[in-house]
Structure formats: C-alpha cells, structure tokens
Amino acid sequence: MEGKEQKTKKQVPLRLSTALYNELAAWAEDEFRSVNGQIEYLLTEAVKRRKGSGKQTNNEE
C-alpha cells in the first residue's frame, strides 16, 4: 500500500467472536494500539509476508 492508497481508508464491517475480540484487545493493549489499529497492523504484516513468499494475486484495485 503506497501513496494515495494509504491516505484513504476503506471501511469494512467485521464480525468477530467475543473470544477473538478479547484476545485482539489484550494484544492491542500490550502494543499500545487500538483494536482497529492492531487488526490493520496484523493484516498489513500478513500481506507483506504473502508478497514476500511470491504468492501474489492479481486482484488489486
């Protein structure tokens, strides 16, 4: 995600189990992030790893 893509953010409804939310909330608190910030961080890291492994898709907007 570079340039303009980082400045604009897409809102995505997300349903999580209570247990998963609580785990994410505790993890976020440990790393001084909001739950939303933690989810965004984890997804960004997962995408970076996927790109690094060569498993890219052509579904980019």
The answer to whether residue 40 sits within a structural domain is yes
pLDDT tens string 10-59: 999 999 999 999 999 999 999 999 999 999 999 999 999 999 887 666 66
The answer to whether residue 39 sits within a structural domain is yes
| Residues of the domain holding 40 | 16-52
Q: Looking at the 3D structure of the chain, how many domains does it have?
A: 1
pLDDT at 7: 81
The answer to whether residue 5 sits within a structural domain is no
The answer to whether residue 9 sits within a structural domain is no
CA neighbours within 13 Å on the CB side: how many for 2? 2
Q: What span, in angstroms and rounded, lies between the C-alpha atoms of 25 and 35?
A: 5
The answer to whether residue 38 sits within a structural domain is yes
| pTM of this structure | 0.72
